[in-house]
A = this chain, B = another copy of it.
Amino acid sequence: MTEMKFVYLFEEGQADKKALLGGKGANLAEMTNIGLPVPPGLTLTTDTCNAYFKAGKVFPQGMEKQLWEKLADVEKKIGKTFGDVNDPLLVSVRSGAPISMPGMMDTILNLGLNDETVKGLISATDNPRFSLDSYRRFIQMFGDVVMGVEHGKFEEALEKQKKAQGAKEDKDLNADSLRALIDEYKQIVTREAGEDFPVEPRLQLLKAIEAVFASWFSPRAAVYRQINKIPEDLGTAVNVQCMVFGNMGDDSGTGVAFTRNPSTGENVLYGEYLMNAQGEDVVAGIRTPQPIAMLEKDSPAVFGQFVNVCSTLEKHYRDVQDIEFTIQNQKLFVLQTRSGKRTAQAGINIAVDMVGEGLITKEEALLRVAPADLEQVLHRQVDPSVKFDVLATGLPASPGAASGHIVFDADTAQARGNDGDKVILVRTETTPDDIHGIVMAQGILTSRGGMTSHAAVVARGMGKCCVCGCDALDIDLNAKTITVGSTVLRENDLISLDGSTGRVIPGQVPLIDPELSEAFRTFLGWADEVRSLGVYANADTPEDAAKALEMGATGIGLCRTEHMFMQQERLPIVQKMILAGTLEQRQEALDQLLPFQEDDFYGILKAMDGREVTIRLLDPPLHEFLPDMESLVVEVTTLKLTNGDKGKLEELEALLRKVRALHEANPMLGTRGCRVGVQYPEIYRMQARAIFQAAARLKKEGFDPKPQVEIPLVIDPGELTLLRGAIEEEAKLVAGKAGIALECLVGVMLELPRACLMAKELAKHSDFMTFGTNDLTQTALGFSRDDAEGKFLTHYLDHKIFAENPFAVLDLSGVGELMDIAVSRGRSEKTGLSFGICGEHGGDPESVHFCHKVNLSFVSCSPFRVPVARLAAAQAALESK
């Protein structure tokens, strides 16, 4: 049996050995091997860590021997010897797990110093203050991390010493003060730890290694692993590296830089540095660092080295690098490199540039940008560089940001909006009656209602910023105030909303505008070349449709007709229809609605000329179009007690009776969707007629309308044959009257488990199918969205029962399984049957991946998420290759 290899010199490792050497160790090895100026060093493997714990916290047999042998190699390289009393080799000891756990684990610098070797350092550097300060820092760090001495004890002594010496900053302490401090530090260690500070450098090193291993099981690391689902048996590697010093004088320094601008993507070095300083000085912010460009003037030779390093690293890693470096006596050392974090806009620009430069392929470029980040580019944003107070946080119901004057009712919002005033409409919750105000407001804020509340749905449809269900706000519509604790906002006060995070901000915050750059278009063009999944949009109006086209949608996957019913001038007719006592009365109201609906469909079909438009027939329960029961009860009770207007009372009582008759215990599972159509076929007939009349008009005008009539909430072929028959009759009637051929395509929305299970039987009568995964999630999981989000779902996420909100990211075990079943059963009846998904999951990247996997024909989402879906679909196609 050959002995296990516990210790690797940097030059023995490489980038793809992260599991064995840790992320940091693997990267240091890679940089060493491509000839970059990395201070030499060695890495103890993660296996060593695991063996150490397995053996009951004992170093595995042979490890120490390997360590000293490899350390000798390092000594040879650097030309110094560990523990040399004339010119000692000092090392840093750092952890490095396979998966980055920033700040979670420990580091020790300047290891190898003691009362003897510090003298050697002084003579070698001719810098007593630097040397003694390094020794002091080492005792402090080692005492804290390895020996468990409370950090504060050292800080106290330091402060006392500074006071005694009248020193303002650490660096103002002279050599004598530092010597005194070092003595005091050693006493503190002996007193607090119960043992003396170890003198022997090799003992120091072994103890430091043990301490780094131990930090893998520190409570904060354990919690971090639990949260991020990092397995405990990965273990950590330990890197032992020769120290270099940026604080050795004015020809030394330290800095951090990106190879390109991470904010804009511009191909120029971006970063800052500080001469005669160590990393922690830059972080502390006591001295102001210089922009990296200044280095060219300060030290052209070093800058030249750095430019070369950057170029080498970017070419080697084929991505923007975020580099930490130190200059020691004019010599550049690279201490770390990693992929540079960047904004969405920068990410796109960099990816496109790098393809242009031949550095990466289009496919690689597409995999470089997180689809969700694209949303940042598409909405107005709160300027991330500005600080502000947050009044309260509600649900992030519709992304984007807005500022404006507070108004408390829709009429005022409309009037002031018409006057060009920017207003935010604040309501406890919105109703169809508020639509005209919502249209004219910059953003919507409500204290009640969830992510599918009226306000949220309408706002998302309009791409308008909305914060919902912000129940920390006490909104008094009569007094026209918003109260949170002692803060009171009044009508006309300025307020800002961040619909992407749910933040409500008092006053006005600076917003930044979206910009669809050329690079953005190029980039998404590549995505379209690669993806096999179609990307459609949800759109209810011609304006939505235009936006959808602009965002790159190639069809409408869901056109909801109920929002058309809710428009201000139509709602009274809709209510008349609902309250109708006879079929004749109902038909009369429907006849009034027909021309409105026809115009709606005409506009959308025209905007989408030549592209499919999936039109869903009326879906919500009829009581959604009537006033709320609770407020009616209050009105009726009040009129009774105050002996109010008898006629009015009777009218309201009649209305209340109807509202009560239509009231449902669980409206989500009640008379809605095609159940309304089964009960009142005349409603669906009117809608079908409107669709076909619009199509006929457009055909005569030379357009190519492609309506697809969709029946919602289907669970049985019986519903489908009944309603399909009625729709086909209407198509024939309209075609006959117009003397024109009209195609009649009818499909179903699969949004209930039974429908998915019966997809084969339903496919016999369907020309297409789309999944309504919002309702499917509600029923498959038994989750009422309105009653789950912000309520029990919070506990489910807290307890990690769910990793994600299933309304945002498709639940694969339940909903995904049903979709998979439906697709295979549906296509077993009709090969190639079109399956789409509409609703918010259609714009979620993870869900889009699943849709690609189960071979859907298209995803459909709100226009603003179309670019997200296009990219996610492309990535899914690339990853499944």
A interface list, Cβ under 8 A from B: 629-630, 633-634, 637-638, 641-642, 664-671, 675, 678-679, 713, 715-716, 718-719, 722, 751-754, 757-758, 761, 775, 778-784, 786-788, 791-792, 795-796, 799-802, 811, 813-815, 817-818
Residue of B nearest to A722 (CB): B799
Q: Which of B633, B641, B758, B784 contacts A669 (CB 8 A)?
A: B784
Which single residue of chain B is at the shortest CB-CB distance from A720?
B801
Given contacts A668-B669, A679-B792, contact A782 B752 (CB under 8 A): yes
| A783 cross-chain contacts in B, Cβ below 8 A | 669
On chain B, the residues within 8 Å of A778 by CB distance are 666, 669
**16 A-B pairs in the complex with CB atoms less than 8 angstroms apart:** A629-B630, A630-B630, A630-B633, A641-B641, A664-B786, A666-B778, A666-B784, A667-B784, A670-B787, A671-B792, A715-B782, A753-B753, A753-B780, A754-B813, A757-B817, A775-B782
4 A-B pairs with the lowest CB-CB distances in the bound complex, closest first: A754-B814, A718-B801, A669-B784, A666-B784
Task: Among B667, B754, B818, point to the contact of A665 (Cβ < 8 A).
Answer: B667
Cβ of A757: which chain B residues have Cβ within 8 Å of it?
780, 813-814, 817-818
Give min CB distance, A391 to chain B, whole Å: 21
| Given contacts A715-B814, A718-B801, A780 and B796 within 8 Å (CB-CB) | no
B residues less than 8 Å from A716 (CB atoms): 801-802, 813
The prevalent SS among residues of A at the interface is helix
| A666 to chain B: closest residue by CB | B784
Known A-B contacts A637-B638, A667-B787, A813-B754; the reply to A675 vs B792 at CB < 8 A is: yes
A727 to chain B, nearest CB (A): 16
A725 to chain B, nearest CB (A): 11
Q: CA A630 – CA B663 in complex, angstroms?
A: 12
What is the bound-complex CA distance between A670 and B801, given in angstroms? 16
Known contacts being A757-B818, A792-B678, is A665 close to B784, with CB within 8 Å?
Answer: yes
Contact yes or no, B754 A800, CB < 8 A: no
Q: How many copies, total?
A: 2
Nearest CB to that of A450 among chain B residues? B665
- B664 near A784: Cβ-Cβ < 8 Å: yes
Measured between beta carbons, the chain B residues less than 8 angstroms from A801 are 678, 716, 718-719, 722
Of B664, B753, B786, B814, which is within 8 A of A787 by CB?
B664
**CB-CB < 8 A to A780: which residues of B?**
752-754, 757, 779
Residue from the list B633, B669, B752, B779 in contact with A634, Cβ < 8 A: B633
Is the pair A791, B671 in contact by a Cβ cutoff of 8 Å?
A: yes
Cβ contacts under 8 Å, A634 to chain B = 633, 637
Nearest chain-B residue to A717 (Cβ)? B801
What chain B residues lie within 8 Å of A800 (beta carbons)?
A: 718
Closest beta carbon of chain B to A653's beta carbon, Å: 13
- Roughly how many angstroms separate A840 CA and B667 CA in the complex, as a whole number? 23
Q: How far is the CA of A616 from the CA of B786 in the complex (A)?
A: 26
* Given A665-B786, A679-B795, A722-B801, 9 other A-B residues pairs in contact with their CB atoms under 8 A: A664-B786, A666-B787, A670-B787, A671-B792, A675-B792, A715-B781, A716-B813, A754-B814, A757-B780
Q: A679 — which chain B residues lie within 8 A by C-beta?
A: 792, 795
Point out the residues of chain B lying under 8 angstroms from A802, CB to CB.
716, 718
Instruction: Tell me the complex Cα distance, A758–B722, Å.
Output: 34
State the CA gap A722–B801 with chains docked (Å). 9
- Write out the residue numbers on chain B whose beta carbons fall within 8 Å of the beta carbon of A817: 757
Say how far A153's CB is from chain B's closest CB, in angstroms: 37
Minimum Cβ distance to chain B for residue A828 (Å) = 15
Q: Tell me whether A782 and B779 are in contact in the complex, defined as CB-CB below 8 angstroms, given that A630-B630, A633-B633, A675-B792 are known contacts.
A: yes
* Interchain CA distance A633-B713 in the complex, whole Å: 34
Q: Which residues in B have their C-beta under 8 angstroms from that of A630?
A: 629-630, 633
Least Cβ–Cβ distance between A629 and chain B, in angstroms: 7
Take A642-B641, A753-B814, A783-B669 as given contacts and tell me if A678 and B633 are in contact as well, using a CB distance cutoff of 8 Å. no
**A667 to B665 alpha-carbon distance, docked (Å):** 7
Q: How far is the CA of A159 from the CA of B671 in the complex (A)?
A: 55
Smallest distance from the beta carbon of A250 to chain B beta carbons, Å? Answer: 59
**A815 to chain B: closest CB distance in Å?**
8
List, in ascending order, chain B residues with CB within 8 A of A633's CB: 630, 633-634, 637
CA distance A756 to B722 in the complex (A): 31
Q: Which residue of B lies closest to A661 (CB)?
A: B471
The answer to whether A781 and B752 touch across the interface, beta carbons within 8 angstroms, is: yes
Identify the closest chain B residue to A642 (Cβ): B641
Give the CA-CA distance A638 to B779 in the complex, in Å.
39
Q: State how many angstroms separate the Cβ of A855 from the closest Cβ of chain B.
A: 19
Q: How far is the CA of A668 from the CA of B814 in the complex (A)?
A: 18
Q: A678-B795, A678-B801 are in contact. Are A758 and B813 (CB under 8 A)?
A: yes
For the complex, give the distance between the alpha carbons of A754 and B775 in Å. Answer: 13
Q: Which of A629, A665, A818 has the most CB of B within 10 A?
A: A665
Q: How far is the CA of A713 from the CA of B817 in the complex (A)?
A: 19
Partner of A670, one of B670, B754, B784, B818: B784
Chain B residue numbers with a CB within 8 Å of A638 are 637, 641
The reply to whether B641 and A787 contact each other, CB–CB distance below 8 Å, is no
Query: Is the CB–CB distance between B792 and A665 below 8 Å?
Result: no
Q: How far is the CA of A642 from the CA of B751 in the complex (A)?
A: 49
Contacts of A754 in B (CB 8 A): 780-782, 811, 813-815
In whole angstroms, how far apart are the Cα atoms of A811 and B638 in the complex?
Answer: 47
* Contact call A665/B665, Cβ cutoff below 8 A: no
CB distance from A777 to the nearest CB of B (A): 9
Which B-chain residue is minimally distant from A793 (CB atoms)? B675
> How far apart are A410's CB and chain B's nearest CB, in angstroms?
22
Q: Which of A678, A716, A782 is most buried by chain B, counting CB atoms within 10 A of its CB?
A: A782
Instruction: Using CB atoms, name the residue of chain B closest to A815.
Output: B754
Please, how many angstroms separate the alpha-carbon atoms of A504 and B423 in the complex?
59
Q: Please, which residues of chain B bring their CB within 8 A of the CB of A753?
A: 753, 779-781, 814, 818
With a CB–CB cut-off of 8 A, which chain B residues contact A671? 787, 791-792
Tell which of B637, B666, B715, B752 touches A786, judged by Cβ atoms closer than 8 Å. B666
Which chain B residues border A713 with CB–CB below 8 Å?
A: 782
Least distance between A554 CB and chain B CB atoms (Å): 31
* Residue from the set A666, A779, A780, A795 with the largest chain B CB neighbour count within 10 Å: A666
| Interchain CA distance A754-B664 in the complex, whole Å | 25
Q: Which partner residue on chain B sits nearest A621 by CB separation?
A: B787
Q: Which of A664, A722, A753, A775 has the most B CB atoms < 10 Å from its CB?
A: A753
Bound CA–CA A823/B829 (angstroms): 26
Distance of A782 Cα from B619 Cα, bound (Å): 13
**Complex Cα–Cα for A641 and B817 (A):** 55
Inter-chain contact A787/B637, CB cutoff 8 Å: no
Please indicate the chain B residues that have their CB under 8 angstroms from the CB of A818 in the complex. 753, 757
* A233 nearest CB across to chain B (Å): 21
A679's nearest neighbour on chain B, judged by CB, is B795
Q: Which residue of B lies closest to A453 (CB)?
A: B665
Query: In the bound complex, what is the Cα–Cα distance between A667 and B669 (angstroms)?
Result: 11
- Taking CB atoms, residues of chain B closer than 8 Å to A667 are 665-666, 784, 787
Give Cα A641 to B795, complex, Å: 40
Q: Which residues of B contact A782 (CB under 8 A)?
A: 668-669, 713, 715, 751-752, 754, 775, 779
Quick one: closest B residue to A817, CB to CB?
B757
A786 to B722, CA, bound (A): 25
- CA–CA, A787 and B469, complex, Å: 27
Contact across chains for B715 and A669 when beta carbons are under 8 A apart: no
Q: How far is the CB of A397 from chain B (nearest CB, A)?
A: 16
Residue of B nearest to A782 (CB): B752
Shortest CB distance A803–B (Å): 10
Instruction: Give Cα A634–Cα B667 distance, bound, in whole angstroms.
Output: 23
- CA distance in complex: A716, B630 (Å): 36
CA distance A174 to B631 in the complex (A): 80
